[in-house]
Structure formats: C-alpha cells, structure tokens
C-alpha cells in the first residue's frame, strides 16, 4: 500500500504506513526502501539516507536500495559543492553545481524548486536579471504550493527591479503581498519598486551614473570617476561646454546622493533629498568649483 501511496503522491501516508511495517519487522528491506523513497520525495534527504543505510546493513547488495543511495549521494555531492561555492560568493560555480544536481533527477519537484530558487538568487547576485527571471518562471511552473510561490515571487520582483523593468517588479511584489499579507518583505519590495518606477519618470540618479540600484559603494565611486572624467567640461569644445557643464553637475549631484548611505537610503525610499544634496554641494564633501577660464575641480570622497 505504501508503494501505491508514493505513486499517488501521498508521501506522508507512505511514511506512516511503512513506519508501522518497520515497527513490526525492523529488518524489512521493502519497508525500509519504501520509507526511504517517501522521505526522498519529500526532500528529506537525510532521513532517506538513514533508511537506505539501514537496509544496506541487512543486505549490502540490494540493487534497488543501492541505486537509490548512489543517486542521492551524487545529488548531495553536487549540492554541497554548490552551497560551498555560494558561501564564497562564487555564484557562477554554485549555479553550475546546482544544475548538475538537478539533472540527476529532474522529476524530483520538491528538490528542484528550492534548488532552482537558489540559482535565481545567485543570478540576482551576478546581476544576470534575465536568467534570474527565467529561473523564477521555471520554478513557478512547477506548481508546488503557496509558500514556494511566495518566495519565488519575491525573487522575481527583485530581478525585475534590478533589470529596470519597474512595472513588472511592482506587479510581482503586489502578487506576493496579496498571497501573504502579514509578511513585510513583499510590502518593502513593493515600496522600493514603486519608488523606482516613479523616479524612472523623473531624474534617476542610478541611470545618471549608469549603474543598477543594487550597485555597491565601490561600484558607485567607480562609475562616478569614469563619468566625471568622460564628461568634464574642460575636455569639450567651447560650443559644447554649456551642455557638458549641465551633464557634469548632474553626475556630481547623483554621486552626492548615492555615495552617502543615509541620503541613498532616503532616495531609495522615495524621500526628497534634493535639499540635502544642494546643501552638501556648498558645504564640504564631494564638490566642484567653477573658476574663471571654465576650469572645474573635483574631489573624490574616500
């Protein structure tokens, strides 16, 4: 009966029935194999391993159990390598290891979904927005449950936000908020997406510097240096200098906001930071001065 329950997808019932068999006959290879299979389907791999090890203790050459055991060992080996690479921020290697793990048993839905979600998060870390969206789309199509869908929708919202698809980001965060109204992560994501959408129709300081909204402080500074040098008014012809000056001031203004953690946080929340930025331009911090002869001077915040 437990075997039939596994075929029907009723894994908890299979665990219960095979468990009763084991209580009556602790060395029942069939019961140990089936219970291990049920735990495997539930993505409780350690419990599956324990039951298969116990079965192999009674019969080391049991073909069915040996095959299950070897397959799971292969999955776990790749998973552990992927997790280790992810912890070291080697996201490309992590994704490759997780792909190998999935390929071992691509029908193992309760395992494939969280592993695909891990891949999506690593794609987000790599700023591979389209790949992250694709992974999330695949995970959603597995059709597991509302909890799994909710976690996927959060990553989907983040990926669309990073890819500057703000309308889509708002839509996904709204769907997540409707699914779990008591979880603040969706609400916070929705607020960030709505702010980004609004700012995209005004002056977007991230676009001014040509960086994503997830850019690190180091990336902000690097982008500013490159933009400031490229658009410095001293480097253009006299008839283009007025346009260059406006561009240069916009770059400096963007850097003032995004290089200051407090101002950047306010900007990301949609608060008005223009007053703070103007005040800082005149009182220390990053600044540039316009002298006679159209010469500009600028310092980089350390």
Q: In this predicted structure, which of 140-149, 218-227, 253-262, 274-283 has the lowest mean pLDDT?
A: 274-283
- For residue 16, give the DSSP letter: H
Q: What is the mean pLDDT of residues 104-111?
A: 95
For residue 290, is pLDDT > 70?
no
pLDDT at 275: 63
Q: What is the mean pLDDT of residues 242-249?
A: 82
Q: In this predicted structure, which of 147-151, 156-160, 204-208 has the lowest mean pLDDT?
A: 204-208
Is this model's pTM higher than 0.75 or not?
Answer: no
List Cβ neighbours of 171 (8 Å cut-off, separation of 6 or more).
none
- Asked if 209 and 254 touch (Cβ cutoff 8 Å), the reply is yes
Separate counts of helices (H) and strands (E) for the chain: 16, 2
Q: What is the mean pLDDT of residues 87-105?
A: 97
CA distances, 284 to each of 34, 88, 99, 246, 301 (Å) = 71, 38, 51, 20, 10
Q: Which two tokens stand for residue 18?
A: 């095979």
pLDDT at 283: 36
Strand partners, 291: 295
pLDDT at 8: 76
pLDDT at 200: 83
Tokens 């890819």, residue? 163
- Asked if 193 and 170 touch (Cβ cutoff 8 Å), the reply is yes
Q: Which two tokens stand for residue 14?
A: 């299979």
């Amino acid at each position: 009966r437990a075997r039939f329950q596994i075929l029907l997808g009723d894994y908890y019932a299979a665990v219960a029935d095979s468990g009763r068999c084991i209580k009556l006959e602790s060395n029942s290879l069939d019961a140990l194999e089936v219970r291990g299979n049920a735990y495997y389907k539930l993505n409780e791999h350690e419990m599956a391993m324990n039951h298969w090890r116990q079965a192999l203790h009674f019969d080391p050459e049991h073909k069915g159990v040996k095959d299950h055991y070897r397959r799971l060992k292969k999955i776990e080996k790749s998973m552990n390598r992927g997790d280790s690479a992810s912890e070291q921020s080697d996201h490309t290697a992590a994704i490759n290891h997780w792909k190998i793990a999935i390929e071992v048993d691509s029908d193992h839905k309760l395992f494939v979904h969280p592993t695909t979600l891990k891949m999506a998060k690593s794609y987000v870390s790599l700023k591979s927005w389209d790949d992250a969206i694709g992974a999330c789309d695949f995970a959603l199509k597995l059709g597991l449950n509302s909890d799994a869908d909710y976690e996927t929708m959060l990553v989907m919202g983040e990926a669309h936000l990073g890819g500057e698809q703000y309308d889509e980001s708002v839509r996904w965060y709204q769907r997540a908020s409707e699914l779990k109204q008591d979880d603040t992560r969706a609400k916070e994501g929705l607020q960030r997406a709505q702010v980004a959408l609004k700012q995209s129709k005004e002056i977007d300081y991230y676009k001014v510097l040509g960086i994503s909204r997830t850019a690190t402080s180091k990336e902000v500074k690097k982008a500013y240096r490159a933009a400031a040098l490229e658009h410095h008014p001293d480097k253009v012809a006299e008839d283009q200098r007025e346009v260059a000056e406006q561009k240069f001031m916009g770059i400096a203004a963007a850097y003032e906001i995004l290089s200051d953690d407090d101002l950047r946080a306010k900007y990301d929340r949609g608060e008005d930071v223009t007053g703070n930025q103007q005040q800082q331009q005149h009182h220390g911090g990053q600044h540039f001065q316009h002298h006679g002869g159209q010469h500009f001077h600028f310092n980089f915040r350390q």
